[in-house]
Structure 1
Amino acid sequence: LGAALSGVDVFFPITHGKLGEDGALQGLLELLGKPYVGCDVTGSAICMDKDVSKRLLHAEGIPVSKSRTLWNPKSVPYDEAVAALGTPLFVKPAREGSSLGVSKVRNAEQYEEALRVAFALDRKVLVEEAVAGREIECAVLGNERPEAAPVLGEIVPRHEFYSYEAKYVDEKGAELIVPAPVDPKIAEQIRAVAVQAFQATECQGMARVDFFLREDGSFVLNELNTLPGFTNISMYPRLWIESGVSYHELLDRLIALALETRQ
C-alpha cells in the first residue's frame, strides 16, 4: 500500500463517520508516514466521541448541554431521564456522524424506539436535554495558534432538527444563513470559545464548532466536527469565503498546515 501511494504528497480526507473521521483513517496514514489535512488520531477520536468530548469541554469550563451516558438500554428509564434532563430529549449514538441514529423523543414509547435505533449503531449512547436556541456554526483554522473565522453561520432546519435526512436527502431540509445575524459581543464570545474548544480537544488543521444560541444570549457548545463538508457551498468554506479567504486559498492553507505538523 505504501508503494502504491508513494506519489501522493498530502492526503485530504473528505470522509465522514466511523473509520473516516474517528482516527482510524488518520492512524493508517500515520503508519504510512503520509501527511494529511485535519486533526490527528487523538483529536479525531476525541471529537468523534460525544461523551468524551463533552466531559473534556465541561472540565475546561465550556458550557455544554446536560446529558446521561448509557451502555445499556435499560440503565436509564424514561422517567429518570426526564427528571434529570427535562423534555423533549435527544437520543444519539455517542460515536456516529452526520446525525445518524439521532432521535427527538417526547414520550416513553418514542424513547424506547430511539434507544433501539441508537444502540444498533453504537455500544454507547447519549441522552441529552433539548436546548432551545438557534444553531450557530463557527469555523476554526490552524495548529498551535488557531483562529476563528470572523463570520459565523446559522442553520435553520425545516424539520424538527438538523437530521440526517435534512443534511443529505431533502434538498430543502435546511437554510444556511451566512453571515448569521448575531450581536457582535456574543459573536466574539462564541469565536473565543470555539478556539478554546479546538485547543482543549487537541484539534489541528480545521474544525467546525457548532453551538446553540439561546434568546437571552447564553449559548452551549454542541459538538466539534473535524471533517466538515467541503464543497464550495458547504458551511465551513463559506464562512472563510465570507471572511475574505478564497476557497483555493483555504485549501492551500490547510495543505500547508498538514505539511507543517507531519513532515
Structure 2
Amino acid sequence: MTNESANPINVLLICGGGSSEHDVSLRTADFIQQELGKSAEFQLTRVTMDADGRFIDADGQLRELRSDKLLYNAGGSAQPVDYVIPAIHGYPGETGDLQSQLEILGLPYYGCGPEASKNCFNKVTTKLWLTALGIDNTPYKFLCAETAEEFAKAQDALSQWGSVFVKASNQGSSVGCYQVSTPEALNEALKDAFKLSPYVLVEKCLNVRELEVAAYEYHGELVVTPPGEVRAPSDTFYSYDEKYAEDSRAETFVEAEGLSEGQLDWIREASRRAFVGLQLKDLSRIDFFLTDEGEIYLNEVNTFPGMTSISMFPKMLKNQGHDFSEYLGTLIHNAVKLT
C-alpha cells in the first residue's frame, strides 16, 4: 500500500481516559503505535487523556484539539490532524462521548460511531437491541433503582436461578461484575454495582464455554472470524484482572475446537446481524456463551476491544491471514479520501 500523496497523513492517537481501564488503554495504544510505525506514510502524534479530559503529549505538555482540525501546544503553534484513533477503553472512548466530539469537529476516526458505541456499552440497551434483532442472549432482569422493590426482583432471580452475575450496566471489561449465590452476597453486589452505574443487570449464571469473534471491515468487506475461546481458571470467572494481567491464568485459543457446522454458522450469522443491525464500523469483538446444553447466547459487543499482548482481537485478525497494519492503514486511507 502506497500513499497517493507525497505528504504524510497526520494521525492523532488518543489513549488513557482516566477510567478504570486507563492502563489497558495505554497498552492498546502501544500496539497500534507499533503497527502504524511500520509505514512512513503516517505521521503519528500520541496524547494521553487524563481524568479531567486534558490531552498530554509524550513531553508532559498540554495539547488542545480545536475546531480548525489543528492540534495546538501551549506555545500556540499547531499541527494538522487528518485522522483520529480514539484508543480509549471505557469512558469516554467506548461510550460514544469522544466520538461525538470528533463528529462535531468533522474529523474521521477509527471505530464505531457515537450511537453504536453508546448502545453497546450499556449492557441493558445491548440486550434490548439483540432481542429486537432476533439474537438470543443470556436470561436476565434489570434494576433501575437502588430500592427494596428492585432488590426484591434480584432476590427472586437468585431464588429461581440459584446463582447470578450482577453487572453494572455502564462498565466495560468485567468492571463492576460480581458472581453471587447467596442473598447476603447479592445485596452487597447490588450496592457495589449501583455505585458504578444507574442501572444494574442481573443475569442467570450458566456453565458455558466463552467464545469470541472478531468482526471487522477489510477492504470494504465485513469479515467474521471463526470463534476463538477463552478458558478462565475453574475457581473464578473471567474477571478484569484475568483479562489483562500479564500473569493471567486464563487460556486463550485463537480457534475454538469441537463446534458443529450448525453452531459455527449461527455464530457467524448472529455476528453479522449484530454488526449490521447495530451499525458498527471498522471493528468489534463479539462474545458468545455456549452452554453445556448446546445453547448459544450472544453475551456482549465490544466496540473497541483490547489490543494488548494477550488480547484476542489482533490474534484472530492475524489468524484470518490479515495484516493489522495494512488493515488499519486501508481504513485510514479510505476515511481521509472521503473528507
Same fold (TM over 0.5): yes
The CA distance in 2 between the partners of 1:7 and 1:45, in whole Å, is 28
Tell me which of 149, 159, 175 is aligned to 2:251. 175
Provide the secondary structure at the position in 2 that maps to 1:120: helix
5 Å-filtered alignment, 1:190-205, equals: 190-205=267-282
Determine if contact 2:241/2:248 at 8 Å carries over to the other structure.
no
Determine if contact 1:38/1:258 at 8 Å carries over to the other structure.
no
33-42 or 1-10: which moved more?
1-10
Aligned to 2:75: none
The answer as to 2:71 corresponding to 1:4 is yes
Q: Which stretches in structure 2 are left out of the alignment for 5+ residues?
A: 1-64, 73-78
The answer as to 2:210 corresponding to 1:135 is yes
CA gap of 1:63–1:104, structure 2 versus 1, over 3 A, is same
The CA distance in 2 between the partners of 1:244 and 1:225, in whole Å, is 22
The CA distance in 1 between the partners of 2:137 and 2:330, in whole Å, is 30
Determine if contact 2:163/2:205 at 8 Å carries over to the other structure.
yes
CA gap of 1:121–1:192, structure 2 versus 1, over 3 A, is same
Give the counterpart letter for 1:250 in structure 2. Y
Deviation at 1:42, TM superposition (A): 0.8
Aligned to 2:190: 115
Aligned to 2:112: 39
Determine if contact 1:138/1:152 at 8 Å carries over to the other structure.
yes
Please give the TM-score of this superposition, normalised by the length of structure 2.
Answer: 0.72
The CA distance in 1 between the partners of 2:107 and 2:95, in whole Å, is 17
Aligned to 1:81: 157
Determine if contact 2:244/2:310 at 8 Å carries over to the other structure.
no
Determine if contact 2:155/2:186 at 8 Å carries over to the other structure.
no
Tell me which of 232, 239, 242 is aligned to 1:157. 232
Using the aligned pairs only, state the percent identity: 35
CA gap of 1:66–1:243, structure 2 versus 1, over 3 A, is same
Q: Tell me which structure has the larger Cα radius of gyration.
A: 2
RMSD value over aligned CA atoms?
2.0
The answer as to 2:82 corresponding to 1:21 is no
Determine if contact 2:210/2:230 at 8 Å carries over to the other structure.
yes
The answer as to 2:311 corresponding to 1:234 is yes
The CA distance in 1 between the partners of 2:103 and 2:199, in whole Å, is 27
Q: Which structure dedicates a bigger proportion of its chain to strand?
A: 2
Deviation at 1:259, TM superposition (A): 4.3
Deviation at 1:66, TM superposition (A): 1.2
The CA distance in 1 between the partners of 2:311 and 2:168, in whole Å, is 24
Deviation at 1:233, TM superposition (A): 4.5
Give the counterpart letter for 2:90 in structure 1. G
Aligned to 1:65: 138
Please give the TM-score of this superposition, normalised by the length of structure 1.
Answer: 0.91
Deviation sequence 1:115-161 (CA, Å, 0-9, x none): 11111111111111112210000011129852312x32101112521
Give the counterpart letter for 1:79 in structure 2. Q
The CA distance in 1 between the partners of 2:88 and 2:255, in whole Å, is 26
Deviation at 1:250, TM superposition (A): 2.5
CA gap of 1:115–1:257, structure 2 versus 1, over 3 A, is farther
Aligned to 2:201: 126
Provide the secondary structure at the position in 2 that maps to 1:223: strand
The answer as to 2:125 corresponding to 1:52 is yes
Deviation at 1:76, TM superposition (A): 3.2
The answer as to 2:328 corresponding to 1:251 is yes
CA gap of 1:111–1:233, structure 2 versus 1, over 3 A, is closer
